[in-house]
Amino acid sequence: MSAAIPKGILGYARYKLKQISYSKESIEVNVELERDSRHNHLCSVCNQKASPERRKERTVKDLLFHGWKTFTKVEYYEVRCKQCGIRVEHIPFIRPCARATKRLEQAVAWLCQHLPLTVVALYFSLNWKTVKNIDKAYLEHRFEAPGLDNITVIGIDEVSYRKGHKYLTCVFDLNDPHLIWVGPGKNKETLSKFFEQLGKERGKRIKAVAIDMSKAYIEGVKEHCPNALIVHDKFHILQDFNKVMDRIRIDEFKKADEEYKGFFKRTKWLLVMNPLRLKEDGKMRLSQLLNINMPLNTAYTWGEQLKQLWECVTVAQFNKALD
Ligand SMILES: [Zn+2]
């Protein structure tokens, strides 16, 4: 019995099947295609008619066909386009220079949203770098790079990954809050790459930059955004204040008489948490600790006053409160 598989299912538009061979040993199907000469050659960049220059061949990976690994060999031409110059011709089911068919790339990109790259690579028997490139091309196509033209207020922060061993620097547009740039690392050089992309003129238009107190970021901002105010946000300042608080707690614990040491136990978070969110037991232990230790009591009061600064709505109010 023999029957032909309908062309619409194979999905090789503008091409004709030349030959199909298979190997039982390697569970592999090899499909060979030839151009259907009734169709014009089209430029892969602008999709306009172009004249053929040189015949070429390429073998790309395709989706599994009934469980068989599938490779598709296509002939195509290098073409001369009036607008774009020398390019490769448009193949409807393969992106220019890709190593896989579009349908395989779509399957890879979809799975990458749900599984680690390495698992996707294993499933399709692809090199993980190929999977990474497919995913990257898909994401670039799906999410255009955000424009940098109208930004005036930005926030810069770092995030860690690989259990805190590696860092990314993230830049946000704070007027219309969204992420606009990400680069590996957290030093001045990383940030310079963002500012290079931003350019001098747009850099001058930045009015304010919210950053933590890292010297690297401050230097970078001063150099590239000469008109920007540097703003340290509440979260970062309190984070630093909390470190001071903990240092005092440890020092005071060491100095404390034996009979008072018990009051310090499990108080690290009580000292930095919002007091309104403490439970009864927490409130009681905190108040006992602050009653027996004057330095911690003073630091705690200052901390509460520090938080109040962000309630001020004018610079004058803020300066008065700071004094
Ligand atoms: Zn063209």
> pLDDT per residue over 143-185, tens digit each?
777 778 889 999 999 888 877 788 999 999 988 888 899 999 8
pLDDT of residue 323: 86
Ligand 1 centroid from CA 35, angstroms: 19
pLDDT of residue 1: 56
Q: Find the helix or strand (DSSP H, E) in which 229 lies.
A: strand 229-232
First vs last C-alpha separation in the chain: 94
Ligand 1 centroid from CA 36, angstroms: 20
Q: Which residues pair with residue 215 across a beta bridge? A: none
Residue 5 has pLDDT above 90, yes or no: no
Q: Give the residue-averaged pLDDT of 284-305.
A: 93
Q: Find the helix or strand (DSSP H, E) in which 281 lies.
A: helix 280-292
Residue 46 has pLDDT above 60, yes or no: yes
Ligand 1 centroid from CA 95, angstroms: 15
Q: Give the residue-averaged pLDDT of 227-252.
A: 91
CA distance 92 to 282: 67
Q: How confident is the model at residue 34 (pLDDT cuts 50, 70, 90)?
A: very high
Please report which residue ranges of 46-92 form alpha helices under DSSP H: none
Ligand 1 centroid from CA 42, angstroms: 8
Ligand 1 centroid from CA 52, angstroms: 12
Residue 248 has pLDDT above 80, yes or no: yes
Ligand 1 centroid from CA 197, angstroms: 28
pLDDT of residue 149: 85
> What are the pLDDT digits (tens) for 100-122?
999 999 999 999 989 999 999 99
For residue 288, give Cα distances in angstroms to 167, 245, 285, 303. 40, 17, 5, 18
Residue 64 has pLDDT above 70, yes or no: yes
CA distance 287 to 285: 6
The answer to whether the CB of 240 falls within 8 A of the CB of 232 is: no
Residues around the ion ligand 1 (C-beta < 5 A):
43, 45-46, 81, 83-84
Give the contacts of 49 (CB within 8 A, at least 6 positions apart): 40, 41, 42, 43
